[in-house]
């Protein structure tokens, strides 16, 4: 079967454009410090680890929100603060402290230059299970559209995520390359949806599944020339 040329790219965000855990850990520390000042009664005996345990418990109690990290964070703040008489104003203020810090990310060195080059040649969209805000981070100018598990109502590798991308781009799935770091959520999810599945393997890990990705790269700098080669091959075969 002759496949169409790659006409657009879908990009994962966390651990693809930046390492996510340094930002999350910083955000948790800043949230904790804020709450110690503004809700000292609720924070007696509390630790960051216990706050994580509370969020994890709510993740199990509210499976309908498992794909929505922002809602889960607010639920955990309400559960912590409401028994001490604190209301929604403090919940929202605390969430904003966390969310602002969560979006202060440090890009991988290859990410900025690669995005600029890719956006010049392809429509780019983001597809993430997280809750990063590209406008806050300063990268929204590179993207035609942004998709998250929260906005779709489902998390990768659910096919609805990839279907939403294809619909927004008005392209067949085979004409879209999805790029991400997670073998299951990104690569297998994209493959099952019919997309060209690209594994960004920054740490040189062994591929864990039977069928390999369509393309494996170690940095985003490799992506543009690799897709140009794919398109040349597909055009020659047409």
pLDDT above 80: residue 83 = yes
Average pLDDT in the 178-200 region? 98
Same fold, 8-18+107-237 and 21-102: no
pLDDT above 70: residue 20 = yes
Burial class (CB in 10 A: 0-12, 13-18, 19+), 41: exposed
pLDDT above 90: residue 238 = no
- Quick one: residue 138, left, alpha or beta (phi over 0 = left, psi -120 to 50 = alpha)? left
| Each residue's pLDDT tens digit, 124-159 | 999 999 999 999 999 999 999 999 999 999 999 999
As a CATH number, domain 21-102 is 1.20.120.1600
For residue 161, how far is the Cα from the chain centroid? 12
pLDDT above 90: residue 168 = yes
Q: Which CATH class is domain 8-18+107-237?
A: alpha beta
pLDDT above 80: residue 77 = yes
* CA-closest candidate to residue 20, choices 124, 114, 104: 104
Q: Any idea where the domains of the chain sit in the sequence?
A: 8-18+107-237, 21-102
Burial 63-93 (b: 16+ CB within 10 A, else e): eebebbbbbbbbbbbbbbbeeeebeeebbee
pLDDT above 90: residue 27 = yes
CB distance 179 to 11 below 8 Å: yes
Q: How far apart are the C-alpha atoms of 110 and 94, rounded to whole Å? A: 33
| Each residue's pLDDT tens digit, 203-237 | 999 999 999 999 999 999 999 999 999 999 998 88
Residues in the chain: 238
């Amino acid at each position: 079967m002759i496949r169409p040329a790659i006409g657009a790219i879908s990009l994962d965000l966390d651990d693809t454009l930046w390492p996510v855990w340094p930002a999350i850990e910083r955000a948790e520390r800043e949230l904790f410090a804020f709450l110690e000042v503004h809700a000292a009664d609720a924070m007696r005996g509390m630790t960051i680890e216990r706050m994580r345990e509370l969020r994890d418990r709510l993740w199990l109690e509210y499976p309908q929100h498992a794909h929505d990290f922002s809602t889960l964070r607010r639920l955990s703040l309400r559960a912590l603060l409401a028994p001490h008489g604190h209301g929604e104003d403090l919940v929202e203020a605390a969430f904003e402290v966390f969310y602002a810090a969560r979006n202060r990310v440090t890009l991988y060195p290859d990410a900025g230059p690669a995005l600029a080059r890719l956006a010049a040649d392809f429509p780019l969209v983001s597809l993430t299970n997280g809750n990063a805000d590209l406008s806050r981070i300063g990268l929204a100018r590179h993207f035609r559209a942004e998709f998250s598990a929260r906005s779709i109502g489902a998390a990768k590798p659910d096919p609805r995520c990839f279907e939403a991308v294809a619909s927004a781009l008005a392209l067949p799935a085979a004409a879209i390359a999805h790029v991400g770091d997670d073998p299951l959520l990104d690569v297998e999810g994209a493959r099952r949806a019919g997309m060209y599945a690209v594994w960004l393997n920054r740490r040189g890990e062994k591929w864990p599944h039977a069928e390999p990705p369509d393309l494996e790269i170690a940095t985003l700098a490799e992506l543009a020339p690799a897709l140009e080669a794919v398109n040349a091959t597909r055009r020659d075969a047409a």
